[in-house]
Amino acid sequence: MAGGGIVYGDTIPPAYVDFLDLEADARYIRNWQPLVLPGLLQTEDYARALLQANPAAVHPERIEQFVKVRMERKAVLAGPDPARLCAIVWEPALRCPVGGSDVHRAQLGHLAEVAQLPNVTLQVVPLGIGASAGACGAFVMYGFSSSPTPGAVFLENLTSSHYLEREAELDGYGLVFEHLRSSALNTAQTLDMITAIAAET
């Protein structure tokens, strides 16, 4: 059973249910995504297009179930006491037309709306800065108390995922995240970029 009290049965792998529990319990979520947009910020059509593009990740007959779960995950950002999300993405993640131009345009519009929520901070690392600390790949950090200090880091690859909990590992990812944040556009500049890319689409 995931943290939100939803029973998924055998349609969702146990490792993914563990991830849902971790996300549901978190007070702070810090996400770096260089190639795709964070799951908590995806539209239904964008999520479906991503899942359909990776045949090794999800069996075709289970795609709709995974899309439904991904949309239900957004509940952690709503309600009277929502989690705080700080998401940093690389510019290519904004520009990639996942699902085609209509889906891409709708996704960018959704991003622009969600980025203005009081508990969401969205920043973009522009291509122009060159090499960045984010070369290590995507990761998500979770904090479970009033302090944003991470309690776990989630890593995912093509066919599996795992968690880091050792202090030295958490400190390393925390350092990388701060470097990414310092090289990223501020929130206002990020919103301007999203609006400009949407106008080009």
Q: Token digits for 199?
A: 């106008």
Q: Are 49 and 103 in contact (CB under 8 A)?
A: yes
More confident residue, 13 or 114: 114
Average pLDDT, the chain: 88
Strand 152-156: give its sheet, edge to edge. Answer: 120-125, 84-90, 28-33, 139-143, 152-156, 161-164
Residue 28 has pLDDT above 90, yes or no: yes
Shortest CA distance to 192 belongs to which of 115, 104, 105?
A: 115
In terms of phi and psi (left: phi > 0; alpha: psi -120 to 50; beta: otherwise), the region of 79 is left
Residue 7, pLDDT above cutoff 50: no
Pick 44 or 4 by higher pLDDT: 44
Rounded CA separation 201/198 (Å): 5
User: Which pTM does this prediction carry?
Assistant: 0.88
Q: Which of 7, 39, 64 is nearest to 154 (CA)?
A: 39
pLDDT band at 34 (very low <50, low <70, confident <90, very high): very high
CATH 3.40.640 holds for 9-200: no
Residue 1 has pLDDT above 50, yes or no: no
- Say if CB 40 and CB 76 are below 8 A apart: yes
Token match 């290519």: residue? 92
Assigned token pair, 160: 């599996």
- Give 63-115 pLDDT, tens digit per residue: 898 899 999 999 999 989 999 999 999 999 999 999 999 999 999 999 999 99
Q: What is the pLDDT of residue 4?
A: 42
Residue 51 has pLDDT above 70, yes or no: yes
* Residue ranges covered by each domain of the chain: 9-200
What was the pLDDT predicted at 139? 94
34 secondary structure, DSSP code? S
Pick 114 or 130 by higher pLDDT.
Answer: 114
Q: How confident is the model at residue 2 (pLDDT cuts 50, 70, 90)?
A: very low
